[in-house]
Amino acid sequence: MSESRRLGRSVVAVFVGVLVGAALSLGVDEVLHMMGIYPPWGERMSDGLFVLATAYRLVFSVLGCYVIARLAPNRPMAHALVGGAIGLVLSVAGAVATWNLDIGPHWYSVLLAVTALPCAWVGGWLWLNRMKAQPTGRLAT
């Protein structure tokens, strides 16, 4: 495979995985708002609801990085960690942008940033273990 094609597949893998994690998180947010579990957009949620949001965001982050590793043309763990690094940067940017606003607890944005790379590692690890368990698995290091 040519280097430019491999780079293109790498970019697509990371983009798709980040999109999966973000779309699932925002989709669940919207459903919970529509069901009345979350207050209307723009109103502050209770800390308990932020715990719920954190829980599914962590799961979706792992899933998104699993998708990245699955789609990566080579070095799936490295690709998953790139997804995690993007999540870290976006989480830190979100924390900085909202720090002085009363829209949620500080622990929420800090926790999202702190868990971005561990979630990415778990997603990559899950993919690698799945491939190791399959006798015909494609595992490029």
pLDDT for 94: 93
- Distance (Å, whole) CA 32 – CA 47: 15
pLDDT for 100: 93
In order along the chain (141 residues), what is the average pLDDT of each group of 10 residues?
87 97 97 96 93 98 98 96 97 94 92 98 96 69 47
Q: In Å, how far from its chain's centre is CA 5?
A: 25
pLDDT for 3: 84
Contact call for residues 112 and 94 (beta carbons, < 8 A): yes
- Distance (Å, whole) CA 27 – CA 66: 19
- Distance (Å, whole) CA 50 – CA 121: 23
* Residue bearing tokens 């999202």: 112
Domain boundaries, the chain: 3-133
pLDDT for 48: 96
- Distance (Å, whole) CA 124 – CA 69: 5
Contact call for residues 80 and 127 (beta carbons, < 8 A): yes
